[in-house]
Amino acid sequence: MATDKKSFFDSVKDSPVWKSMFRHGYADTPRNRILQVSSNVFLHLHPSKLPRHAVRVRFTWCAGGVTFLFYLILVVTGIILMFYYRPTGDYAYHDMKYLQFDVPFGMIMRNMHRWAAHSMVIAVWIHMMRVFLTGSYKPPREFNWIIGVNLLVFTLLLSFTGYLLPWDQLSIWAVTVGTNMARATPLLGHEGPFADLIGVNARYDARSFLVAGRLVGSATLLRFYVLHCIFIPVVASVLMIVHFWRIRKDGGISGPL
């Protein structure tokens, strides 16, 4: 403790451990400070300059930003719920009840996840309506509209797959009815048009692919859990990155016509 503060930090910065992590020092110059902002990947999501109209809430409704905020809430609360939830027929319902009644802050995590999920679906439709009403889907933004439509579909799929996870009667029958629609898929559903062309049947068709069998059961729950927690969020996140990047590449946020 005899060493004074400055020399203590200097000795840390001279140590082999520190130098293995940080190869050279950081020069606190005005140039480096502006680079910190202009080359930061998170700050990069927003343009360095904004047109005045882009910050008018009455024009954008901030619906896309609100949708993304709900998505972030869902990712955080969803990961927290995963610490207690087991996607197996014997456990799932009881884990959901356990989260609600016993786990500290479990109820608020589950309810935040549920309400943010409902809100995200609503917000994404409002965002789509705003983009449509302001004509922001027109060239040069037509490709970003397509990405957005795909994101809408993945939002609805996240909502649908998440609906099964509480594993109560409502979930099971809702997903039974929902996946029954897959029976009528053209070519791939055994009750759909042209089903005979490639010879699909009730055991091997689009519905049994989703349901992992003939009935909505424990195998379906696990399948939907993996889709809900891994597959769809990864795909949706990649599409979101492209979606936000394309806003800048397509000339920034659209203005009033």
List interacting residues with another protein (CB under 8 A). 202-204, 208-209, 212-215, 217-219
Cβ proximity to another protein: between 188 and 240 the closer is: 188
Pick between residue 143 and residue 209 the one whose CB is nearest to another protein. 209
Euclidean distance between CA atoms 53 and 251, whole angstroms: 14
Least distance (Å) between residue 205 CB and another protein: 10
* Alpha-carbon gap, residue 141 to 145, rounded angstroms: 6
Ramachandran quadrant class, 193 (left: phi over 0; alpha: psi -120 to 50; beta: rest): beta
CB of 224 to another protein, least distance (A): 13
- How many whole angstroms from its chain centre is CA 204? 30
Question: At its nearest, how many Å lie between another protein and the CB of residue 78?
Answer: 24
Work out how close the CB of 87 gets to another protein at its nearest, in angstroms, rounded to a whole number. Answer: 15
d(CA 182, CA 208): 9
| Cβ closest to another protein, residue 13 vs residue 214 | 214
Residues 95, 257: Cα–Cα separation, whole Å: 52
Q: Rounded to the nearest whole angstrom, what is the least distance from the CB of residue 135 to another protein in the complex?
A: 33
Q: How far is CA 80 from the centre of its chain?
A: 15
Comparing CB distances to another protein, the nearer of 75 and 222 is: 222
Asked if omega into 140 is within 30° of 0 (cis), the reply is yes
| Residue 157 dihedral angles phi and psi, to the nearest 5° | -65, -40
Q: Which amino acid is residue 105, in one-letter code?
A: F
- Please say which residue, 91 or 209, places its beta carbon nearer to another protein: 209
